[in-house]
Structure 1
Amino acid sequence: MPTQPIDTLDGTLVLRLAYDGAGFSGFAEQPGQRTVAGETRRALETFLRRSIDLTCAGRTDAGVHARAQYVSVPLTADELAITRSRWMRALSALLPDDVAAGEVFHAAPGFSARFDARARTYTYRIGTGEARPLLCREYAWWHRTPLDIAAMEEASRCLVGEHDFKSFCKVASAVGKPTCRNVHAVGFSTETQLGEELLAFTITGNAFLHSMVRTIVGSLVEVGSGRRDPAWMAEALAACDRRAAGPTAPARGLCFMSVTYDEGVLTVCS
């Protein structure tokens, strides 16, 4: 498909997507792999009948889910006139069953779902105890043994603020790249999903490194299991060495929950 000349692009389409990550090799496009970006691009290019530039708020790994991933695409003036109902019908028809468009927005020319994001929130869900989560088994890590939530809460406090999170990052992705991030908030809660009780760890930050949330969760579970003292979490953080932290938690328990943008930047498509 021909690429649309940049001087004809008059605004930005922003989609809020949800997806079940089980059937994808992550969000980012990869040759020969089924990805969320690849399926989204195919749907949009089929509808618009041209090639597009697609930007996401945050890449998710293989098996990670999303309730509110945001993607941005520059549009022409004629394309900006497409109604919300037409977008929703088209996307429902063209996207696969494991991806859904939840809302359609407009933004100014040059808006980027990635670079204009102020914060991102992830939640990791864990099932504990002898009973395996059944209806939620694809969206939670079954840990089998009880966890000391108070110890995990104590250990997690050191994460808040701006730190070098190299200890909680996939080694290869940290080479030659900055690894400082600002975590705004962390917290634990219990949820009942489809009648099954889960422990939910939620973390909000300006941005996240590759596998950062899952490695944090794996490390917190080391504390909750009694294998590590809560003070060990701060020691692992300060080490700036992946070997100092705990294992990486399974992908299926992680969900990209929301993105924060400046008020008024996004306008719901009419």
Structure 2
Amino acid sequence: MPIKTILVALALEDDSKRVADRAIQLANQHKAQLVGTHVIENLPLLDPGLPPSIDTAVLAGMIEDQSTLRLQSLLGSAEKPAIIRVEAGKPHDIIASLAASHHADLIVIGPGVAKGLREKVFGSTADRVVGCAPCPVLVVRKDAGAPYSRIAVGVDFSTHAQTAALWASRLSPMASREFLHAFEVPLVFEQTMLKAGTSQAEIDRYRDAKARTARQQIISMFGAKGRLPKGARARVVHGDAASMLINASRRRTTDLVAVGTQGANVMARHLLGSVARKVLTGAGCDVLVAPATVDANR
């Protein structure tokens, strides 16, 4: 399915040009309509301490006008003129609502920074957008010099991992892909095996067998006739999945990491899966997140 509409949410802070440039690059690449939004929040318009001479309605209008002009400036180089929306409210709710009303295929945002204890526990705006988004979310960390060319895809053999891989391919069809899977054999289990008389060589063979099985599963899931597509490869490591993906994101050969999230229940909408959240926090490149609620065939 083509990418027809891209919603880019800009905080109008230091990283806004980077985020806007990537959204423009993708919109131009896919001939998509760009919708740019800025969400105004926490204005003290009802503060009784404001000087009585201030007309709060006029003040709010001026802030909206300034935000509109800034959005138009940042998104002015899109081939199709961007639709501009300035709203007031909670950013993640407004962004999700606009994405739904404009039938957005992709949301583009910056990583944001957790402000205060509440956001450190429940996540920044970026975390919350991913938790309630009706479509994949691209979190931009790097300057947009060119289309994505090297994508690392986190694989745990679930349907949401398949969805993340599919959307990564849609985003940049010509990019090479590395399918990454991490498995762990608990240390206490290995120690118990040693105590029970299992040799280290046998444990190593057990690990190697698990790695071979995982590699075959990757080929079965993403390949055909026993082979992965041209430009794709599989890598299986023993260790932590989040650390593996973060390390991959910091290689010069990777410019996008794609991950899925699990669960569509109330708690999952507030707290991202641990792997996705760690990757969003620690990645050294852009991150594409496909929420569990996203339909792979939309």
**TM-score scaled by structure 2?**
0.25
**Larger helix proportion, structure 1 or 2?**
2
Q: Which has the higher contact order (CA 8 A, sep 6+)?
A: 1
**Larger strand proportion, structure 1 or 2?**
1
| Bigger Rg over Cα | 2
**TM-score scaled by structure 1?**
0.26
